[in-house]
Chains A and B, each alone.
Chain A
Amino acid sequence: MTIEKRPNATADKNAPTQAPRVPAVERDRGPKLPGPPGVPGTERFRLLAYVKQESMVRVDKRPDETVLTWPHLLRAEFLMALLISVLLVVASVFIHAPLEEMANAGVTPHVAKAPWYFLGLQELLSYFNATVGGVLLPTLYLVGLAVIPYIDRSPYKAARDRKTAWVFFMSLMLGGLLITLIGSFFRGPGWNWVWPWDGIYFTL
C-alpha cells in the first residue's frame, strides 16, 4: 500500500516556470527507487513522512484493508449530505412548520404537550410521583447512559457475544420509544387516553 506510482510524466506539462513551492513532506521523502529499466517516470518512492512501514521488502504482505479518504470516504460523505439536503429541501417546501396564535399566559390550550422528545418524560410523569418521574428517572437515564462503558467491561464487541447488554440497552431504548409514542399519539385533552383514529393531538 505504501508504494505508489509517481504521477504520470504528462502531468508535468502544466508545471510552473518558477521554482515550485515544495511542501515539507516532499522534501522529507525518501530517495527514489528506479522503476523498470528504460521506462521513464516510473520511479517509486516511499512517503517516509507519514506512512509507517516495517521494511521495504515485506515477506508476509497482508491484504490491504484500507482505502484512501479522497475519494472513497469523501464521496460517501458527499452523497449522504446530498441525500439529506434533498430530503430537507423537499420537506421544507411542502410541509410547513406549525405556528398558532400568539402566546397567552391566561389561556391554556386544551392540549398542552412538551416537544415530542419530552413526551416520554411527560408520560412517565403520569405514572410516577413527579420527583421520581420528572427528575430522578431522567437524570438516572442520562447518567446511566454515560457510565455504560465503565460498567460493561466485557471485551466482546459483536452483538451476538453481548446479548445481555444488547437486550438491556434495547429495552431501555424501545421502552423510551414506546412511552414517547404513547405520549405523542395516544394522549389528548386532560392527558386522557385517545385512540389515534379518534383524534391526534401532536405538533412537531
Chain B
Amino acid sequence: MTFPGPGDLMRVVRESSVWRSLFRQPYPTTSRTRALAVMNNVFLHLHPVRVKKHAVRYTYTFCLGGVSFFLFLVLTVTGVYLMFFYVPSVTRAYQDILSIENSVAFGTFVRNMHRWGAHLMVLTVFLHMIRVFYHGAYKPPREFNWVIGVVLLFCTLWLSFTGYLLPWDQIAFWAITVGTQMATYAPLLSRESSFILLGGVEVGQGTLIRFYVMHVIAFPLIVAILLVVHFWRIRKDGGVSGPV
C-alpha cells in the first residue's frame, strides 16, 4: 500500500477552493502564465508584462531607483519596529534609545539598520539622479517625472534630517540646531519660518514632536504618494528610457 506523500498534500492544497481563489492560474512556468501572473497580481503589475531587454541589464540603471525604493521599504519596516519602543519626549527619547540598544532583543541591530539604510538611501537617490541625467532620460516625454524626482530627492533629505533629531543626543541636538539655523537666513519671514519649524524659539520639546510627526507619518506618506506617481509615469512614458 502507498502512503500519501508531500506531493499529494500539495496537490490537495492546490486544488482547494481557497488556493484557487488566491491564485488564478498554476505556478507560472510558461510564457503565458508568466505574463498573466505579472498582469493579474497587484504588486507585480507595477511592471509591464514585457520590458525592453536593455532595461534589465544592471549596467543600464544600476538598479539605483529600484534600490532606493527597496531601501524605502526597509526603512519603513525597521522604523515601525523602532516606534514600538520610542516616545518622542525630551525626557524619554534618549532613555528609549538607550533601552533599544541595551534591553530590546535585536534592538541595536534594528537601529543600526535604520540608520545605515537611511544614509545609503540618500546616496542611492543622488546616484539614481545622476544616472537618469546621463541617459538624458528627463527629455520628453519624461520631463515631469524628473520634476517629481527632484521633489522626491528633497523629501528623502528631509526624512533623513528629521530622523536625525530623534535620538536626542548631543550629535542630534547640535546638528539640528545648526541645520535649522540656516533657515533663519531666509530673506523673508525668516524668524517666523524657524519659529513654526522648531515649534519654539530653539530646539526643544516642540521641535522633537514636530520632527517626529514629519518623520514617521507625514513625509513617508508624501513619499509613498509621489512614488506611486513616479512609477505610474515611468510606464505611461513608455517604460525605462533608452537604449541610447
How close is A143's CB to chain B, nearest CB, in angstroms?
Answer: 9
Contact B147 A115 (CB under 8 A): no
CB-CB nearest in chain B for A118: B179
Of A32-40, A53-61, A147-155, the segment with at least 4 beta carbons within 8 Å of chain B is: A147-155
Residues of A within 8 A of B154 (CB): 142
Q: Which of A14, A68, A102 is in CB contact (< 8 Å) with B49?
A: A68
Q: A97-B116, A114-B178, A115-B161 are in contact. Are A69 and B51 (CB under 8 A)?
A: yes
Q: Which of B32, B47, B70, B168 is in CB contact (< 8 Å) with A80?
A: B70
Contact B20 A69 (CB under 8 A): no
Tell me whether A50 is interfacial, beta carbon within 8 Å. yes
How close is B180's CB to chain A, nearest CB, in angstroms?
Answer: 9
Of B36-44, B212-220, B224-232, the segment with at least 4 beta carbons within 8 Å of chain A is: B36-44
Tell me whether B185 is interfacial, beta carbon within 8 Å. yes
Within 8 A of B (CB), among A1-32: 1, 4-8, 11, 14, 16-17, 20-21, 23, 25
Contact A156 B174 (CB under 8 A): no
**Size of chain B's interface in residues, with CB distance under 8 A?**
102
Q: A47-B32, A88-B74, A146-B150 are in contact. Are A23 and B169 (CB under 8 A)?
A: no
Contact B160 A93 (CB under 8 A): no
Interface band, chain A:
35 or more
Contact A103 B172 (CB under 8 A): yes
Residues of A within 8 A of B140 (CB): 149
Can you list, as one digit per residue, whether each of A102-117 has a CB less than 8 Å from chain B (1) or not (0)? 1111011100111111
How close is A117's CB to chain B, nearest CB, in angstroms?
Answer: 5
CB-CB nearest in chain B for A102: B94
Within 8 A of B (CB), among A74-107: 74, 76-77, 80-81, 84-85, 88-89, 91-93, 95-105, 107
Contact A204 B160 (CB under 8 A): no
CB-CB nearest in chain B for A23: B24
Q: A69-B47, A97-B111 are in contact. Are A134 and B15 (CB under 8 A)?
A: no
Closest 8 CB pairs of A and B: A103-B173, A157-B136, A149-B143, A92-B112, A97-B115, A112-B174, A134-B182, A130-B185
Between A and B, 16 residue pairs with Cβ closer than 8 Å are A14-B11, A72-B56, A84-B70, A84-B120, A88-B116, A92-B116, A99-B97, A99-B98, A99-B169, A115-B160, A115-B164, A117-B157, A131-B187, A142-B153, A149-B142, A203-B171
